[in-house]
Amino acid sequence: MRRLIFQEYVTLDGYAAGPDGGLDFFETIAGQRDADNLELLDSIDTMLLGAETYRLFAEFWPTDASAGEPIAAKLNALRLVVVSTKLESAPWGSYEPGLVVRDLDAVRALKAEQSGKDIILWGSITLFQSLLKAGLVDEVQLRICPILLGEGKSAFPVGGASPVNLDLIEARPWAKGGVLLRYQPTS
């Protein structure tokens, strides 16, 4: 069975975006994040996104704007799967368009495919929370940025959510003060 890895950049106080949706805090770990993601991209062949994150990614990654980004070529070569009940198609610039699936059963089937590498879920907080609750997330990767925002969009369920226990797989500090944390849900 293929593994589903959720990766999110978060602030030290757990925000995945600023109060205005901004992601400027990513720059606090510039350089190191690209090296780690290039290594990660060798182990995956499928990118899973929710509709909102797909729209954000589609505006940048399959365009000329991403030409100078170290991970652009590998990211654009991934198989794209978008989970959405509203999108009819998922164009990806001049690359192969993404496959639109409607529900978690389709994600379950994707994980069960006999061939293929791991699957990465970037961003897509609402989708992540649904997948985690359904037991479909195999690894949670947090890329901690050394900044406190005080407010913003939380990366994690709040209010009434059931606790999810995680086991630490790896903790790797970075030169600029950031940290890569890798967890797996406790069996």
Strands 15-17 and 153-154: antiparallel
In this predicted model, which residue has the larger pLDDT, 17 or 30? 17
> pLDDT tens for residues 139-174?
999 999 898 999 998 888 666 667 889 999 999 998
How far is residue 132's CA from residue 175's CA, in Å, rounded to a whole number?
31
3-class DSSP assignment, residue 94: coil
How far is residue 157's CA from residue 130's CA, in Å, rounded to a whole number?
10
> pLDDT tens for residues 50-93?
999 999 999 999 999 999 889 999 999 999 999 999 999 999 99
How far is residue 76's CA from residue 64's CA, in Å, rounded to a whole number?
12
pLDDT of residue 155: 83
Question: Residue 129 corresponds to which tokens in the numbers above?
Answer: 């929370």
Name the pTM for this structure.
0.92
How far is residue 154's CA from residue 152's CA, in Å, rounded to a whole number?
6
> pLDDT tens for residues 178-187?
899 999 999 7
Domains of the chain: 4-185 (3.40.430.10)
pLDDT of residue 3: 97
How far is residue 97's CA from residue 163's CA, in Å, rounded to a whole number?
37
Question: Residue 164 corresponds to which tokens in the numbers above?
Answer: 């999810």
Give Cβ neighbours of residue 8 (< 8 Å, ≥ 6 apart): 16, 122, 123, 125, 128, 140, 141, 142, 143, 155
